[in-house]
Amino acid sequence: MISLNSALRASVIISSLIYANLYSPVTTAQTDAPFAPVIAAEYLPKNIIYLIGDGMGPAYTTAYRYYSDDPNTKRVDKTIFDQLLVGMSSTYPDDDTYVTDSAASATALATSYKTYNGAISVDHQGGPFPTLLEMAKAQGKVTAVVVTSQINHATPASFLAHNESRRNYNQIADSYLSNLIQKRPIADLMLGGGTQYFVRDDRDLTAEFEEYGYQYVDKLSDLNSLERLPALGLFAAKGLPAALESKDPHRLASMTRKSLALLSNQDSPFVMMIEASQIDWCGHSNDIACAMNEMDDFAKTLSLAKRYVDNHPDTLLVATADHSTGGLTLGRDGTYQWRGQLLHQVHSLPRTIAKLIVESPEVLNDFASFSAFLHPHIGITIKENTLDGLRRKLNSRLSTHKPQQEISDDLKQVIDKLTYTGWTTGGHDAIDVPVYAYGKGALYFRGHQDNTEIAATLIQMVKSERYKSK
């Protein structure tokens, strides 16, 4: 006799394949779909805000709690991450490594299917998996992607495209105008970076988007000039400037605020994916000051999304990470301490400081010159003998093959020692990541889930006929 769970699982698989055949522009990959619960009607959200902190493992949210804490109070303040935490998620790819890259994990979060590292929403044979935003578009919903990377980077691409390699940036960008649903591009709103891939000598994709009726801006300062959908905003050649050195350190929150205003003016329900892309980039660089500033932008964005849900209770907020990056540890060398508050005194990225030193090596000539140069960038108190030792070390780097990189690494290590921060890798790790949920349907994300199950539940919600738009 067939069990109820088996019957439900079969129903989910069959309906997913039928739906894919109806709406995917190419033949769909065949594989086992994860089980997703049947969503009770009263918990079906009208709108979905899906947030991803790229590389944001649990050490990052813990570090942010202590970094952002008010040192004048004894009790450690809870962050927005603490308030919305509902569970954890596994992130392994479709192989035996257990350590995913951003493409495989984003594919899982966008489609509910596992794949190989590097793949953009395709299986091992190159067959496409239908994505959450493709399904939302087919349902007549308004769709949006907001990121701090280029909009054709691994995570946003996995919601909008299908490609055998995340590195095919131009192909992926081109596909945003060929992978169509109902003769329209998948996303009604795209904000982020990537002009070098969209405005090329061989093709100007922005002009082609304008032919589809998209309003286009290429300066973040012009963000508020966007008055309608569809719209496209590309604010950097690749990724946006890092939060630590940006004119708008909360640029993801700013883009999210504008996006929600534009989406709220539409009659149709919306599905929106937001990515704090550069937490991961800071982790790869083992740059803790960089990471905490990106986390602060993401925290502001998450708080903004929560307020939107408070004012629109028919909306669901789901947030998670695609993986953890860097093997971050709070505490190092056997010392029971972490001094993350000192990071507020770091005002420039180590790579920027290194570039200035290479361009003006005379700042290393003597202790007074170096101290005067460094203090505006790193205001942390450093013992004179330690600081002078650093000066001599950096001076020796000037004659090396890659002086700028080595000086940057030396500066990061100094900051790590002062704050007792540790790292185990310049890549990703296999640590489970946190899951956050709030609003209509949030209870379906409690406990431990695989990343495919998060997507499968969201897909069930999106495919519901309740909020289908004509």
Q: Name the band, by pLDDT with cuts 50, 70 and 90, for residue 15.
A: very low
**Model pLDDT, residue 35:** 75
**Model pLDDT, residue 18:** 33
Asked if pLDDT for residue 219 goes beyond 50, the answer is yes
Asked if pLDDT for residue 316 goes beyond 90, the answer is yes
Over residues 233-241, mean pLDDT: 98
Annotation says 396 is catalytic: no
Closest CA to 463 of 176, 269, 301: 269
Asked if pLDDT for residue 111 goes beyond 90, the answer is yes
**Model pLDDT, residue 31:** 53
**Model pLDDT, residue 29:** 53
Query: Cβ(168)–Cβ(157) under 8 Å?
Result: no
pLDDT in tens, 414-451: 999 999 999 999 999 999 999 999 999 999 999 999 99
Phi-psi region of 179 (alpha: psi -120 to 50; beta: other; left: phi over 0): beta
**Model pLDDT, residue 25:** 38
Q: Name the band, by pLDDT with cuts 50, 70 and 90, for residue 14.
A: very low
pLDDT in tens, 127-182: 999 999 999 999 999 999 999 999 999 999 999 999 999 999 999 999 999 999 99
Q: Name the band, by pLDDT with cuts 50, 70 and 90, for residue 13.
A: very low
Task: Pick the catalytic residue from 68, 102, 175, 324.
Answer: 102
Asked if pLDDT for residue 277 goes beyond 60, the answer is yes
288-311 and 58-68 helices, crossing angle to 10°: 90
350-359 and 403-419 helices, crossing angle to 10°: 140
DSSP 309-378: HHH-TTEEEEEEES-EETT-EESBTTB----GGGGGGB-S-HHHHHHHHHH-GGGGSSHHHHHHHHTTTB
Question: Which pairs with CB-CB distance under 8 Å and at least 24 residues apart come from 387-390?
Answer: 390/414
Asked if pLDDT for residue 242 goes beyond 60, the answer is yes
**Model pLDDT, residue 470:** 61
Question: Rounded distance, CA 199 to CA 410, Å?
Answer: 37
- 51 phi/psi in degrees, rounded to 5: -115, 140
Asked if pLDDT for residue 248 goes beyond 80, the answer is yes
Higher-confidence position of 245 and 466: 245
DSSP 238-296: SSPPPGGG-SSTTHHHHHHHHHHHHHHTSSS-EEEEEEETHHHHHHHTT-HHHHHHHHH
How many residues belong to the chain?
Answer: 470
Query: Rounded to an integer, what is the distance from CA 153 to the centroid of its chain?
Result: 10
Buried b (16+ CB within 10 A) or exposed e, 413-447: bbbbebbbbbbeeeebbebbbbbbbbbbbbebbee
pLDDT in tens, 38-66: 899 999 999 999 999 999 999 999 999 99
Mean pLDDT rounded to a whole number for the chain: 93
Residues near 371 by Cβ (< 8 Å), separated by ≥ 6? 387
**Model pLDDT, residue 4:** 36
Strands, E, within 100-182: which ranges?
A: 142-150, 180-181
Q: Which two tokens stand for residue 245?
A: 């050195």
Burial of 128 from C-beta contacts in 10 A (0-12 / 13-18 / 19+): buried
Question: Rounded distance, CA 17 to CA 22, Å?
Answer: 9
**Model pLDDT, residue 227:** 95
Torsion, CA 240, CA 241, CA 244, CA 247, rounded to 10 = -100
Element (H, E) at 232: strand 231-234
Peptide bond just before 34 cis, omega within 30 deg: no
**Model pLDDT, residue 307:** 98
**Model pLDDT, residue 434:** 98
Question: Rounded distance, CA 135 to CA 38, Å?
Answer: 17
Q: Name the band, by pLDDT with cuts 50, 70 and 90, for residue 36.
A: confident
Asked if pLDDT for residue 3 goes beyond 70, the answer is no
**Model pLDDT, residue 466:** 77
pLDDT in tens, 337-375: 999 999 999 999 999 999 999 999 999 999 999 999 999
**Model pLDDT, residue 417:** 97
Higher-confidence position of 383 and 17: 383
